[in-house]
Amino acid sequence: MFRFSSVRALGLVGLVGLGGTAIFVTRAQGVGTSPSLPLTTTLADFFQPGTQENTLQASLVDALNCANCHGHYNEQIEPFDNWVGSMMAQATRDPVFHAALAIANQDASFAGELCLRCHTPGGWLRGQSVPTDGSGLDVVQGDYDGVNCHFCHRMVDPVYDANSNPIEDQAILSALNPALLSEPDTGQYVVDPEDRRRGPFDLGSGFFWHDWRQSGFHQESLLCGTCHDVSNPVFTRQADGSYALNALNTAHPTHEKRDKFPVERTFSEWSQSQFAREAIDMGGLFGGNKSAVATCQDCHMPDTDGTACAPGFGGAFRDDLPLHQFNGGNTWVLRAVDSLYPDWETNLTPSIIDSSIQRAHQMLESAAELSAWIRGGEVVVRVENNTGHKLPTGYPEGRRMWINVQVFGGAGMLLQEYGHYDRTSALLTTGDTTVFESILGLDAAMAATTGLAAGMSFHFVLNNEILKDNRIPPRGFTWAAFAAVQAAPVGESFKEEQFWHDSSFALPPGARRVEVRLFYQTTSKEYIEFLRDNNTTNAAGQTAYDQWVLHGKSAPAEMASAVVLRSVPLCPLPIVYGSAGVTSGGSKLQLAAVGLPVVSAANFKLRISGGPPGARGIIMQGSEPASTPLLGGTRLVGGSTTRLVSVHLSPSGETQVSVPLFASQIGAEIYYQAWARDPGLASGVVLSNGLHGDICP
């Protein structure tokens, strides 16, 4: 089977088509889709601070070196086989990446430099990022290892902390020129120049297999943010919030990600979420052995029982062994990689592939809660985000999540469908449903510069405007915080602390049953056809398209479903939101619902627990949520607020009160919060979490 490396000496790019046919075309870097393209950018425009090329004293080794001890002993828990089945391992072989890389280089000269830093850090550090189409990468040297073991385990915390970082890091950081910022992005990584392998655990003084250092950084989300916040450095943010093209052949003036155009903000979304402030018990959805999760690693590297190395090497048995799975929502590209590359290179097996894709489906199913109920002549569909970032998140182009609603009448006859997806044509009907996505594009200035049309665009390296972003925020969302990290919603009015979204669909006459489903798709038809049809450089777009077709056209993954019968009234469960305040005794003041807020049932109650023993307090009621600092906690009710009731907690810090509901409130959303006196706190008061309820008939 032909490879890029097999034809590199000829100055050609080869990609394998369907049926094993090798397609060769002359490499023509910089050819664009407009006479004004490519932009005459240079490597200087894409320069990033951090460790630079060809500066390591000890080269990175390929992953097979690590597999000698950390692989081939238990596919379920070992680091190597789990990593092999991840898109981290296959990041350099991803055909969609190569198709996007070709377009990027067509649109702006040397733009591939921006992409290769994170998709092949080993190759980039070896100085193989030029030519920026990836043709200089060498499989023998491990450049196709993607984001491999040796790279991650030599990463250095950009913010030195003597209590959690190796002492050598201070000198490594001091030697950087320019100095690194405290929140690196877009591959601004720092790598130990020596082969000192880092991880979160103390391996003991008797460990001799390789040089090691204990590093708290490897359990921090900041490590992941190095490549999971992506910014385009050819643009600089203006005072009015727009993004203007820099003078070309010039590095970005600040290298600060908030000053560059935001392509991805997964880490920043997490950083402003409730998960970044406290670990949250998600009921076992994520985390493996951990009951409460907070960091990226907690969810994407869940803890299990086992050893990190093969028997005979003396590895300690742990109950907090991080699984190196790194699963997200990609459900098809791994099969494409397996089709295009030989097993000896990818180390993939059918078992590894199937297990990884199954985990991706599990992650998607855990990511959202779906509920539906009938209100008047419509069905209301609620999607709750269970993740620590937007849902969906990451690279915006081609990724989408949507609601499908099917309404049935007598004898099971389909009366109406919203959000229909045709699995043969791969076309989604978007105009009658909610599609959660981020859409980028070009403003008028960039349209004039490039000769392309203003508005929506898949030319990611040229895009400088966010046209739509209705993806669902995570717990803890506030407008001010998300705007500060360039992650505010666009075209959607989420309320403070809201991590759910409601959509309404009209019911036709005769409706008896409604089936609702939530779908996610990694790669849309529109995006994959763009990559195919706009590639004038090589066969990468056609190859990606052919693989997309071969492996099911990125078949939508069902994340959740619900069934509603018109004859059975339903009321949505109240939603707990916001952080509960901590009492002087160390417990959290919790507010929870007992029963449902149904007017006709007259049995809705609120329960307070974890409060100061015998304390007096109140329950506040508001028409809107809020997220305002108050008395050492957070006020979580706003709008039109009233004191609902005064309470007196029991000696165990608990109480339960009935909530009167009225017909005039039907259809309203009401927000509740408990406040209790606590003389042991400086503020004298502790505030509970918030509770959201929809008042039903």
Q: Is 306 exposed, middle or buried (0-12, 13-18, 19+ CB in 10 A)?
A: middle
- Give pLDDT, residue 619: 98
pLDDT of 406 > 90? The answer is yes
Calculate mean pLDDT across residues 659-678: 96
Positive or negative, the CA dihedral 451, 456, 458, 462 is: positive
What is residue 588's DSSP assignment? B
Answer for the pair 567, 513: CB distance below 8 angstroms, yes or no. no
Question: Using CA atoms, how far apart are residues 113 and 109, in angstroms rounded to an integer?
Answer: 9
What confidence tens digit (pLDDT) does each residue in 40-62 have?
999 999 999 999 999 999 999 99
Q: Please provide the average confidence, as pLDDT, over all residues in the chain.
A: 94
Calculate mean pLDDT across residues 492-499: 98
Tokens of 311: 């028997």
User: What is the reported pTM?
Assistant: 0.94
Q: Which domains does the chain have, with CATH numbers?
A: 273-327 (no CATH), 362-440+463-524+546-565 (2.60.40.10), 575-694 (2.60.40.1940)
What confidence tens digit (pLDDT) does each residue in 271-318 have?
999 999 999 999 999 999 999 999 999 999 999 999 999 999 989 999
What confidence tens digit (pLDDT) does each residue in 582-629 have?
999 999 999 999 999 999 999 999 999 999 999 999 999 999 999 999
Question: Using CA atoms, how far apart are residues 591 and 608, in angstroms rounded to an integer?
Answer: 5
Answer for the pair 28, 154: CB distance below 8 angstroms, yes or no. no
What confidence tens digit (pLDDT) does each residue in 63-116 have?
999 999 999 999 999 999 999 999 999 999 999 999 999 999 999 999 999 999
For residue 221, give the nearest of 229, 213, 212 by alpha carbon: 229
Buried b (16+ CB within 10 A) or exposed e, 81-102: bbbbbbbbbbbbbbbbbbbbbb
> For the CA atoms of 242, 246, 252, 258, what is the dihedral angle to 10 degrees?
0
- Give pLDDT, residue 12: 29
Question: Using CA atoms, how far apart are residues 427 and 420, in angstroms rounded to an integer?
Answer: 8
Question: Using CA atoms, how far apart are residues 525 and 428, in angstroms rounded to an integer?
Answer: 9
What confidence tens digit (pLDDT) does each residue in 418-447 have?
999 999 999 999 999 999 999 999 999 999
Length of the chain: 697
- Give pLDDT, residue 587: 98
Calculate mean pLDDT across residues 133-143: 95
Calculate mean pLDDT across residues 205-224: 96
Strand stretches in 195-293, DSSP E: 197-199, 212-214, 229-232, 235-237, 243-245, 261-265, 280-281, 292-293
Calculate mean pLDDT across residues 325-354: 97
Tokens of 139: 């499989």
For residue 247, give the nearest of 479, 44, 81, 36 by alpha carbon: 44
Calculate mean pLDDT across residues 345-359: 98
- Give pLDDT, residue 257: 97
Calculate mean pLDDT across residues 209-224: 97
Least confident of 12-21, 529-538, 557-566, 619-628: 12-21
Three-class HEC string of 76-94 = CCCHHHHHHCCCCCCCCCC
pLDDT of 657 > 80? The answer is yes
Confidence of residue 3 (pLDDT cuts 50, 70, 90): very low
557's CB contacts (< 8 A; 6+ apart) are: 329, 331, 360, 361, 364, 519, 520, 521
For residue 619, give the nearest of 585, 582, 580, 659 by alpha carbon: 659
- Give pLDDT, residue 296: 98
